[in-house]
Amino acid sequence: MPGVLLGDVFPNFEAETTIGKIKFHDFLGDSWGILFSHPKDFTPVCTTELACAASLTKNFQKRGVKMIALSIDSVEDHRNWSKDVMAFNDDLESPLPFPIIADDKRELSVQLGMLDPDERDKDGMPLTARCVFVVGPDKKLKLSILYPATTGRNFDEILRVIDSLQLTAQKKVATPVNWKPGDKVMVIPTLSEAEAASHFPSGVTTKELPSGKKYLRYTQP
């Protein structure tokens, strides 16, 4: 079955991009990475998405995250369309701040399970769906989200989950529903009370439950 599962080492593929040929692991270096695909250049929703990603470049950079996009279009189309993307942000001078992969033969899209069977081009070939892959510095897949071509993504949510992934990679915590940076986090269940007290000197609070089980434990990160 094509695709990459959580915890898998992300394929170290070679690809032609708007900045030349890359090898994915070399492109990432020691950084976190986000690879996101879009169905087609010169289309409305995709233009709004890449423009949003471009406007958030500094937000990704301060988190140590490198961005790279992908679709089944050619490098030439990507370069020409990039001007439209930046124009959407009323920026006619700056280049698109991240590269776009040209997967015109759909080889990478098939390998990564990125094709949308319900959205096709004029020749009847499937287009790439709106995938999001977050890859850690260890080159392993940390998060994947798959949207159909008809639904644009929320890049604020992508930043939020990156914040959660980076926090929980460093500390023995999990982030609860609707968590955002600055909120309390939850102590992971495998940590004993003594270990929790040692790990979190700011204190741990436990919510009393009818079951009597003390698994809802909160602390400040």
- Please list the active-site residues: 46, 138
**For residues 217 and 196, is the Cβ–Cβ distance under 8 A?**
yes
- Helix (H) and strand (E) counts for the chain? 7, 13
Q: Which residues contact 208 (CB under 8 A, 6 or more apart)?
A: none
Select from 167, 142, 159 the least CA-distant residue to 61.
159
- Closest listed residue to residue 75, CA positions, set 13, 11, 15, 34: 15
Burial of 118 (C-beta count, 10 Å sphere; 0-12/13-18/19+): exposed
